C-alpha cells in the first residue's frame, strides 16, 4: 500500500489535534494525546506528567524536538515536520517490562510493514531497520516515584520520514540511516503512520503479561519475533562500555529473553540491556 502525498499541500503532512482526540481519547485508547509543534523532548514532558500523577495511558507527539533523546543520552537529530516523534506512558506491570517493550518493537515493525510494504526488521534491542539501515529507534524508560514505586514505562519513538539520501548523510549515526521516503520512493503521509503506530502499541503491556502466562501465546509471538529479527542467523558481537562481552552466531531470539548466541564456548543467552549495551553485525 503506497501512501504518497503532495508536497504542494503541507496540510496533508500535519497533525490534526481534534482528529487525534477523536481517534484516541474519545475511543478511550488514551486518556490524552498532546500535540506540540516544538518541545525540548517528548520523553522529558511525558516523564514529568507521569510523576505528577498522570498514570492513565497518554501520549505526546511533536513536530520538532530541540533535544530529542537517543541512546546513551545522544541527541536524536530531526528536522521540523520531517520525522515521527512521540512518547507514550504505559502502566505496564514491572515483571513484564522485557516482554512488553519487545512487543512494542514487534507491533511497530508489523504496522509499518503492513502499511507501507517496506520489509522492516527489528535489530534488538531497540532499532527498526530496513536492509540493516536504521529507520527508527525505540527507547523505553521505566519510571519510579520518589518512594521507588514502579509507575510504568515511558516509551520514546523516533522515525526518519521526510529525508532524502543527501540529507541522511548529514545525520550522525552508528550505522547508515534510511527514511520512509527513501524506501518508498515517494512522499509518505506522516500522520497516517503515526496514528497507526500509537494504536498498535497501546496494549503492549497487556500482551506482555499474556505472553508470560500462556505458553501457546508465547510461542506464537516468539515465532513472529524470530520472523522480524534482523539478527537471527547472523554473526554478532555484543559490547558493553565499548568492550566485547559476547561474540558468535545468533541461533535463537525470544520476546523478553534477548539473544541466544553460539560462541566458541557454547550457547550463551544475553538478555541484559542498558544504554551501554550494543549489538553489532560481524562480517
- Tens of pLDDT, residue by residue over 180-191, are 999 998 888 899
The answer to whether residues 159 and 196 touch, using CB atoms and an 8 Å cutoff, is no
At 127 the three-state DSSP class reads strand
Angle, vertex CA 157, rays to CA 238 and CA 87, nearest 5: 130
Query: What pTM was estimated for this model as a whole?
Result: 0.92
SS3 195: helix
Q: What is the pLDDT of residues 48-86, one digit of tens each?
A: 999 999 999 999 999 999 876 554 445 555 678 889 999
2-11, 103-112, 179-188: segment of lowest average pLDDT: 2-11
Instruction: Express each pLDDT in 94-105 by its tens digit.
Output: 999 999 999 999
Give me the half-sphere count of Cα atoms (radius 13 Å) on the Cβ side of residue 107.
22
- pLDDT exceeds cutoff 50 at 115: yes
CA 177/CA 62 separation, integer angstroms: 21
Task: Please check whether residue 87 is in contact with residue 162, taking contact to mean a CB–CB distance below 8 angstroms.
Answer: no
pLDDT of residue 149: 96
Give residue 43's pLDDT.
Answer: 95
Structural domains in the chain?
10-211 (3.30.930.10), 231-281 (2.30.30.100)
- Complete edge-to-edge strand list for the sheet that includes strand 133-144: 32-36, 58-62, 83-90, 150-160, 133-144, 127-130, 121-123
Q: What is the pLDDT of residue 253?
A: 98
Provide the 3-class DSSP secondary structure of residue 215.
helix
pLDDT value at residue 133: 96
Quickly count helices (H) and strands (E) in the chain: 8, 12
* Residue of 162, 164, 184, 196 whose CA lies nearest to 118: 184
Length of the chain: 283
Which helix (H) or strand (E) covers residue 87, if one does? Answer: strand 83-90
Q: How does residue 21 score in pLDDT terms, banded at 50, 70 and 90?
A: very high
Q: Specify the 3-state DSSP secondary structure of 92.
A: coil
DSSP states of 237-259 as a string? EEEETTEEEEEEEEEEEETTTEE
Which H or E element spans position 208? helix 204-213
DSSP character at residue 154: E
pLDDT tens digits, residue range 232-273?
999 999 998 889 999 999 999 999 999 999 999 999 999 987
Min mean pLDDT across 77-81, 97-101, 195-199, 221-225 is at 77-81
Amino acid at each position: 500500500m503506497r501512501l504518497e502525498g503532495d508536497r504542494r499541500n503541507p496540510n496533508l503532512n500535519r497533525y490534526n489535534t481534534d482528529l487525534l482526540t477523536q481517534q484516541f481519547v474519545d475511543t478511550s485508547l488514551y486518556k490524552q494525546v498532546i500535540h506540540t509543534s516544538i518541545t525540548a523532548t517528548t520523553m522529558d514532558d511525558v516523564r514529568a506528567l507521569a510523576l505528577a500523577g498522570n498514570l492513565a495511558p497518554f501520549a505526546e507527539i511533536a513536530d520538532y524536538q530541540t533535544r530529542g533523546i537517543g541512546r546513551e543520552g545522544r541527541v536524536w537529530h530531526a528536522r521540523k515536520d520531517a520525522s515521527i516523534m512521540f512518547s507514550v506512558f504505559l502502566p505496564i506491570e514491572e515483571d513484564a517490562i522485557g516482554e512488553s517493550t519487545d512487543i512494542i518493537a514487534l507491533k511497530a515493525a508489523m504496522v509499518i510493514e503492513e502499511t507501507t510494504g517496506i520489509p522492516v526488521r527489528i535489530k534488538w534491542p531497540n532499532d527498526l531497520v530496513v536492509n540493516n539501515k536504521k529507520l527508527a529507534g525505540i527507547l523505553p524508560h521505566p519510571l519510579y516515584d520518589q518512594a521507588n514505586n514502579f509507575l510504568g514505562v515511558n516509551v520514546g519513538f523516533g522515525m526518519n520520514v521526510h529525508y532524502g539520501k543527501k540529507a541522511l548523510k548529514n545525520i550522525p549515526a552508528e550505522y547508515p540511516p534510511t527514511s520512509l521516503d527513501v524506501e518508498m520512493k515517494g512522499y509518505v503521509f506522516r500522520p497516517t503512520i503515526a496514528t497507526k503506530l500509537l494504536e498498535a502499541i497501546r496494549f503492549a503491556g497487556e500482551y506482555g503479561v499474556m505472553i508470560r502466562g500462556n505458553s501457546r501465546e508465547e510461542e506464537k509471538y516468539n515465532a513472529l519475533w524470530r520472523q522480524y529479527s534482523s539478527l537471527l542467523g547472523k554473526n554478532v558481537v555484543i559490547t558493553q562500555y565499548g568492550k566485547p562481552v559476547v561474540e558468535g552466531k545468533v541461533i535463537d531470539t525470544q520476546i523478553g529473553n534477548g539473544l541466544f548466541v553460539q560462541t566458541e564456548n557454547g550457547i550463551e543467552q544475553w538478555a541484559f540491556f542498558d544504554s551501554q549495551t550494543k549489538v553489532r553485525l560481524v562480517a
